[in-house]
Structure 1
Amino acid sequence: MLGMPPHKYVTSLLLLIVFLSWRICHGGNILIVPLEGSHWVNMDIMIKALHSRGHSVDVVRTNTTWYIQDDSLHYKTITVPVTEAFNQDFINPILKKVIDIERGESSVLSFASLQAEMFTAMFNVHRIMCKMATNMFEDKDLMDTLKDRKYDLVLTDPAWGAGIMLAHALKLPLVYNVRWITSGEGHMAIAPSPLSYIPLTGSGLSDKMTFIQRVKNHLFSIIWQVQDRFLIRPHYQAVCDRFFSPEVRYIDLLHGADLWLMRVDFVFEFPRPTMPNVVYMGGFQCKPAQPLPEHLEEFVQSSGEHGVIIMSLGTFVNELPAEITNEIAATFAKLPQKVIWKHKGGRPATLGNNTLIVDWMPQNDLLGHPKMKLFVAHGGTNGVQEAIYHGVPVVGLPVFFDQYDNLLRLQERGAAMILTLATVDKDNNFLKAIQEVLNEPSYRMNMQRLSRLHRDQPMKPLDTALFWIEFVMRHKGAAHLRTESYRMPWYSYHSVDVALFLLTIALVVLLIVIGLVWSCFRLCCKSKVKSDKTVKKE
């Protein structure tokens, strides 16, 4: 405003004050119940964006939180005391068992062991979450405080159910930051999902299935339903029965959210039916690359024309068995590229001079660097979306949960190659996969095509998400977008009762017609007999 006349300076200052006052006055109060780990990383991005638009944000966490820091510039924390929590101590033993099972002999027994381990993990996670919810609802002072703050909505990650029940207790509109819900993939709960072309998570299938694959997909559907019905849902229903009433069904609360902000888009996801209150914001956490720290930039530039590879297995996996890490390090040492590897375990004995091991890396900024050639990834949703955004092909090393299925979506589009933990350290498979993706141009071309498709949108995914969150706040919900199909019993949803009714009518009509025909036939027979008798008498 230098050189501006005084009266114009005053006018501009007043306009600025009015604008800021409007933002403050029109900002909402938002209660957030997040998930831990990488889920918190992208929720934190959403929180910062909401704060920048003038909203006040409170975050519910436990006293044993893994990732969620105390009060920040962008939010205030509400801490719930618990004795158990979902953190690294909970994850590490499960991860070790899963890796041991996957690296064993492939058989029906190993598959059953893996499913049993995952079932047990899910059972315990949701038991812990329900204990947290119970602690909240039993704390009358806490609940009174939450009610007095007059929030406009609850934003939660529904892979845990505590936020869902809290929204019901506070009678607030409910918005999901969602890919997963307590019973599986979010789409499967809210939208029609024909199993003939929509693969279940864990099935390792695409949307093009043979007959045998469709049988497998149905079996996985049964597994998911059994897990939800007998291992997960009873935990949450018990809390609803205790603090609400037996008439309040947890499954209805889950399905009844006003808005589902889905962390995928159809560049990544297989095409499928959807619903009006599902908003797609895949890659909302992605952004243009920022300059690297000086030491990393020097290392990257030292790669020359060969470029750089980065490797990260996400927030859950700190280290792999020594034989695997030694094979990975030995493979990297044979490459002309420089390698940046996020690894917290022991230093591999076979580590080459071209490999830099780090505890943390600016993954988004590295993927967006011009010298980036390849991303070795575990297949988490965040990393896959960032690879798509920056157009970097992937060699995938999935460990558990949805990671194989995420990588499969890239592989089906010709942008990735997948290796299993059982084969990564055998027959130079890791080296062959890296060389295949580096040397075959189609992988990079296909990923860059996906990147162009992803970026070609009328609004940035984060802006779309913010608009719809504020839409729910302005209108006190979005009931007009919400289907009521979840309130229907299964026989009504699938029109079994209608089919039986129509079949009954058809059967009755058929029986009446048969009765009439039979009566006519008998009358005709009687008439013929009488006629014959009359003729004989004559």
Structure 2
Amino acid sequence: MDFIKFVRIVILCSSLCESSKILVTPVDAGYNSRLKNMIQIGKLLMNAGHEVTLLFSDQLEVDALYKLAETNTMNKTFNVIHYKKPPVDPSKDMDTLNQDWLKGMMKKNGVDALEYISSVFDVIISYPLEDDIVWKRISTANFDLIVSDENVYYSRIVAASFDVPLILYSNWGPMTFGANLVQRFNLALVPAFVEPYSDALSFSERVYNVWQYYKLLRVNENIFSKSIGLCRQHGYGEACDNIKDAEKTVSLIFMNRNDVLHYPLPLMPHVISLEGFFLETPKSLGHQYKDIIERAGKNGIIVVSFGSMFRKLWPELRTIFAKAFAAMPQTVIWSYEGPTPEGIGKNTYVSKWIPQESLLNHPATKVFVTQCGASSSFQALHYAVPVVGVPFFWDQPYYCQKLTERVKAGQTVHLEGITSEKLKRAMEEVIKNKTYKENAAKAAAIYHDQPIPPKDKVVYWAEYVIRHKGAPHLRSQGANALNFFQYFLLDITALVAAIIVAMAIILIIIVKKSISIFSRNFKKNKRD
């Protein structure tokens, strides 16, 4: 009997724990935290026993930042399908290492910035479409699931062509590039894109928010039309329509979002909040950083990082930062690789790559000076570190607003009009005023109080889609099928208005008739 039970358990386990084949497609426009987070999803699924294949260009592994960040060779960790991409000078390409390109985006806000870089979508989709060998490998792989960055339209074509369930990942939380990928059920409280609004918008903010939403729809339409055109040119047929229709066919949306950081909003059940799944277990600091922290003494340290994009800064800005850091009594550890800034102090240590999470986890860290990227913001939240946010563009003002106004765990210093003195005062205030640290600790306690660890949630929901061969039952067909007039109940409003008008007309006719009859009777009685 015991042996029979054992056999049943083995059979059950083998049926439940069967390895699946999963394709993961990150955006490849230079190595950055967005791409790293997609790689992390792949690692989580691989560690759960699945066969994971990554799709990216043959140029990524020669990226200098990739070599610093990914110490293990990718081919030893995953199956990798490379599509061909001609070598380019990243300082002249639409790439995260092109500082001029980045500065151009900084001059634009929200949807205007998306329109400014819209040609990037052509590049992202063109190279894999042009590589027939990649398509042949994918067509014979029999994938059970595709997990893709929301901006990789190629994955949408693959999903539609081979009927593979698709999960899209939104790195910026509810602020998706697609206007309706996550339905904005109420523009009165849900920002249309990356504006740094709360959920209590003023009248002018609501007006601007609605305007931004319809601009986003227009920009989406242009991007989708171009990508669909390129797809059809390469002969992929009806599957190209899924570039635009993915919001109606996607199984799940993995959203980088948490209730303590983001404002509440209505979401459909196929939208899954992953709460910073990419955070890693801090490693022990090496002797170099232990010595720096020990020499810092009771003053502690300030950790500075402006993300993967702003590791090099233009002269006037890096000088402002360097002088502000030099004026602080704390020791500053700055992730930076550009020319040595003028005015850099003896208290400032500069390195191309720093163990950021391990430093934030150290009790000697007094404040985190950050651009408030999505990943950095979750790190600050997770490790209960107060921040001084210096947002550059895109989602960064949005996340700085969340950390400094919703969580109240720091201050924001905007680049417009920034000076060394302003930055210095902000750092001093956040370090001396213990309220910021207390608020950060409260937020971290709420963040950690989760029924399912974020990493386990990634695996569970991916396997859920695989088990059920998709999840259309979680997606609202009605929300996707309703047209503009139905969605906003304008047809019902028109019906009610018509009924009211009809009743008013009838009432007016009755009143007129009554007055006419009364008048005739009155005149008749008067003659009699």
Counterpart AA for 1:170: F
Provide the residue aligned with 1:81 in structure 2. Answer: 84
Answering whether residue 196 of structure 2 is matched by residue 201 of structure 1, we say no
Task: Report percent identity of matched pairs.
Answer: 24
Q: Distance in 2 between matches of 1:223 and 1:187?
A: 9
> 1:235 aligns to what?
226
Matched, 1:370 2:363: yes
* 2:154 paired with 1:150: no
Aligned length: 507
Q: Map of 1:159-174 to 2, 5 A cutoff?
A: 159-174=151-166
- 1:86 to partner: Cα distance: 11
Equivalent residues of 1:158, 1:181 under 8 A apart: no
Cα 1:197/1:491, change in 2 over 3 Å: same
> Any unmatched runs of 5+ in structure 2?
none
Partner of 1:476: 469
Amino acid at match of 1:35: V
Aligned partners of 1:283 and 1:461 also within 8 Å: yes
Distance 1:126 1:247, change over 3 A: closer
1:464 aligns with 2:464: no
Partner of 2:217: helix, strand, or coil?
helix
Q: How does 1:53-452 map to 2 (within 5 A)?
A: 53-65=48-60, 66=63, 67=66, 71-83=74-86, 89-91=93-95, 95-96=99-100, 99=103, 119-121=115-117, 123-135=118-130, 139=132, 142-180=134-172, 184=176, 189-230=181-222, 232-239=223-230, 243-245=236-238, 248=241, 250-412=243-405, 413-425=407-419, 428-452=421-445
TM-score by length of 2: 0.86
Contact 1:367 1:390 (8 Å CA) reproduced:
yes
Change in 2 beyond 3 A, CA 1:261/1:86:
farther
Are 2:404 and 2:410, in contact at CA under 8 Å, matched by a contact in 1? yes
Task: Tell whether the 8 Å contact from 1:183 to 1:224 is kept in structure 2 after alignment.
Answer: no
- Counterparts of 2:16 and 2:89 in 1: how far apart (Å)? 36
CA 304–486 in structure 1, closer or farther in 2 if over 3 Å, else same: same
TM-superposed CA distance for 1:118, in Å, is: 5.0
Displacement of 1:421 = 2.0
CA contact (8 A) 1:47 1:74 kept: no
**What letter corresponds to residue 414 of structure 2 in structure 1?**
T
Read off the aligned partner of 2:85 and give its amino acid letter: V
Structure ID, larger Rg = 1
Q: Compared with structure 1, are the counterparts of its residues 474 and 228 closer, same or farther at alpha carbon in structure 2 (3 Å cutoff)?
A: same
- Aligned residue type for 2:126: K
Give the SS at the match of 2:94: helix
| Per-residue deviation, residues 119-145 of structure 1 (Å, max 9, x unmatched) | 222x12112123135325xx2x54343
SS of residue paired to 1:220: helix
Amino acid paired to 1:399? F
Task: Determine if contact 1:308/1:339 at 8 Å carries over to the other structure.
Answer: yes
* In 2, Cα distance between equivalents of 1:100 and 1:190: 28
Aligned partners of 1:246 and 1:372: how far apart in 2? 51
Q: Deviation string for 1:251-277 (max 9, x for gaps)?
A: 322343111111111111111111111
Relative distance call for 1:86 and 1:461 in structure 2 (3 A) is: farther
Return the offset for 1:282. 1.5
Give 1:512 shift: 5.1
Question: Is the contact between residue 70 and residue 77 of structure 1 (CA under 8 Å) also seen in structure 2?
Answer: no
Alpha-carbon distance between aligned partners in 1 of 2:231 and 2:509, rounded to the nearest angstrom: 55
Change over 3 Å in CA distance of 1:304–1:470 after alignment to 2 = same
Question: Equivalents in 2 of 1:115, 1:96: separation in Å?
Answer: 19
Cα gap change, 1:524 to 1:116, in 2 (>3 Å): closer
Query: RMSD in angstroms over aligned alpha carbons?
Result: 3.4
Q: Distance in 2 between matches of 1:477 and 1:281?
A: 19
Q: Name the CA distance, whole Å, in 1 between partners of 2:434 and 2:227.
A: 50
Q: Distance in 2 between matches of 1:351 and 1:375?
A: 18
Aligned AA for 1:327? I
1:190–1:255 Cα contact (<8 Å) kept: no
Aligned mates of 1:362, 1:55 — CA distance in 2: 29
Shift of residue 357, structure 1, vs aligned partner? 0.8
Code of the aligned partner of 1:225? L
| Runs of at least 5 residues in structure 1 that lack an aligned partner in the other structure | 1-10, 103-109
Deviations 1:328-362 (CA, angstroms, capped at 9, x unpaired): 22222222211111111011232222211111111
Q: Is the 8 A contact 1:364 1:386 kept in 2?
A: yes
- Shift of residue 147, structure 1, vs aligned partner: 2.7
Report SS of the residue matched to 1:90: coil
Contact 2:144 2:466 in 1 (8 A): yes
The 2-side partners of 1:32 and 1:511 are apart by 63
